[in-house]
């Protein structure tokens, strides 16, 4: 029965969250380990604190405690999961000494965001001490809702300590930026070209979207969003979307990572040879007009080219736009398909020539073909022609 109770106690302890401390909080804790520099104390919930070992050395240089002893200590600061304590009673003077030391040595401390004030936040450091954190120093991004921060505890560094402690300015940015640098250094080792990653869309622009992939901002260009032409990037993605993409470019010298979303989708060219055999006729849409021909979209991601020499039908034209209109639908014939280079050579199909678009009459390729005479003429006309030849 006792064994069962012990197990239950251990199970309950394993689910207990580590306690959050404010500067000056008092604890009674068990000494669990003594190293050459530090004395470690048990804070329960599988967490520990540490105290400078010099606080337990007497005038003769002897250590005054041993493992298993209980000590009274006061919380000073927190660096991630490491919590620094002291056995010295935290008077106003000792708090000021600690803050001055924290300022000089950039020692992080844990404090509570008490309320929003003009220009930023009032930060409760201890029962008798407050500091100020400007909006710009609370986070890396612009603060949209100050209420999201009020009442929460964060790690800060002292960036200004003046007027004997009457002016204390705190910041989270150096801590957040350090975490970012460490995360980026880790990602530089783990990320590889061709790897699939998950990220969150942070912003969408006409030229593409920016995606956060674990602390690194990567670019998803508009050309890599889909296999077909993208007219509106905002219709495909929005901030907050979670997506998977393939890394197609890594440039650590310029801190640039380039992604492709379309590479996670089936490539339409995988079926192009089967779907578009040579000499077959298909309906397409004029996607782009140039001085060397017209690009025709057969399906999203699969375009073919009708060379300008096939548009004039014997008469030289300067631009495909002289005889075709953008977005016009027409029938085309597959002349040649090159799967490896993703190229298709097209010609206008007879059935599609009537649908080539609202080109100018004088520019229509049909006007370049001379019309044959409807009749051979009268007998008198023929005799006149014969006399002229004589």
3 has pLDDT over 50: no
73 has pLDDT over 70: yes
Phi, psi for residue 111 in degrees, rounded to 5 = -150, 165
Query: How distant is the alpha carbon of residue 87 from its chain centre?
Result: 46
Give me the residue spans of the domains in the chain.
2-89, 93-175, 191-264, 269-368
Q: Which residue has the tokens 């097209």?
A: 346
pLDDT in tens, 130-156: 999 999 999 988 888 999 999 998 888
The CATH architecture one would assign to domain 2-89 is Beta Barrel (2.40)
SS3 for 175?
A: helix
Instruction: Name the burial class of residue 176, with classes exposed (0-12), middle (13-18) and buried (19+) by CB atoms within 10 angstroms of its CB.
Output: middle
Distance (Å, rounded) from C-alpha 191 to C-alpha 189?
6
| Tokens linked to 317 | 């034209």
The CATH architecture one would assign to domain 93-175 is Beta Barrel (2.40)
Strand segments (E) across the chain: 26-34, 38-42, 48-52, 70-79, 82-86, 109-117, 120-126, 129-134, 153-162, 167-171, 196-205, 208-212, 217-221, 242-251, 256-260, 281-289, 293-299, 302-307, 329-338, 343-348
Domains 2-89 and 269-368 share a fold: yes
Rounded to a whole number of angstroms, the CA Rg of the chain reads 38
The CATH architecture one would assign to domain 269-368 is Beta Barrel (2.40)
115 has pLDDT over 90: yes
The reported pTM is 0.48
pLDDT given at position 17 = 56
What residues pair up with 288 in beta bridges, in sequence order?
295
164 close to 117: Cβ distance less than 8 angstroms = no
CATH of domain 191-264: 2.40.50.140
């Amino acid at each position: 029965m006792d064994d069962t109770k012990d197990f239950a106690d251990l199970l309950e302890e394993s689910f207990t969250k580590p306690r959050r401390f404010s500067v000056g909080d008092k604890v009674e804790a068990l000494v669990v380990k003594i190293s050459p520099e530090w004395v470690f104390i048990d804070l329960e919930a599988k967490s520990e604190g540490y105290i400078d070992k010099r606080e337990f050395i007497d005038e003769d240089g002897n250590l005054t405690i041993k493992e298993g002893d209980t000590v009274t200590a006061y919380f000073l600061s927190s660096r991630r999961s490491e919590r620094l304590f002291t056995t010295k009673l935290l008077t106003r003077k000792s708090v000021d000494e600690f803050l001055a030391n924290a300022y000089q040595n950039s020692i992080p401390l844990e404090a509570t965001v008490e309320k929003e004030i003009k220009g930023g936040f009032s930060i409760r450091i201890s029962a008798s001490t407050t500091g100020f954190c400007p909006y710009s120093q609370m986070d890396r991004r612009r603060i949209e809702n100050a209420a999201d921060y009020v009442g929460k505890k964060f790690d800060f560094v002292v960036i200004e300590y003046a007027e004997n402690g009457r002016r204390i300015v705190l910041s989270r940015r150096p801590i957040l930026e350090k975490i970012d640098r460490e995360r980026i250094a880790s990602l530089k080792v783990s990320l590889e070209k061709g790897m699939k990653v998950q990220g969150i869309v942070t912003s969408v622009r006409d030229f593409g979207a920016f995606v956060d992939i674990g602390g690194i901002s990567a670019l998803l260009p508009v050309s890599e969003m889909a296999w077909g032409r993208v007219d509106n990037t905002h219709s495909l993605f929005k901030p907050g979307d979670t997506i998977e993409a393939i890394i197609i470019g890594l440039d650590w010298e310029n801190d640039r990572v380039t992604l492709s979303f379309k590479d996670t989708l089936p490539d339409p060219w995988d079926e192009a040879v089967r779907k578009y055999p040579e000499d077959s006729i298909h309906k397409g849409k004029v996607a782009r007009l140039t001085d060397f021909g017209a690009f025709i979209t057969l399906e999203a991601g699969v375009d073919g080219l009708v060379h300008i020499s096939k548009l004039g039908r014997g008469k030289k034209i300067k631009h495909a736009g002289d005889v075709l209109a953008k977005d016009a639908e027409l029938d085309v014939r597959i002349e040649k398909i090159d799967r490896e280079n993703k190229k298709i050579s097209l010609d206008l199909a007879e059935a599609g020539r009537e649908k080539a678009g609202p080109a100018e009459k004088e520019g229509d390729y049909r006007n370049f073909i001379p019309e044959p005479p409807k009749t051979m003429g009268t007998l008198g006309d023929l005799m006149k022609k014969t006399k002229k030849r004589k």
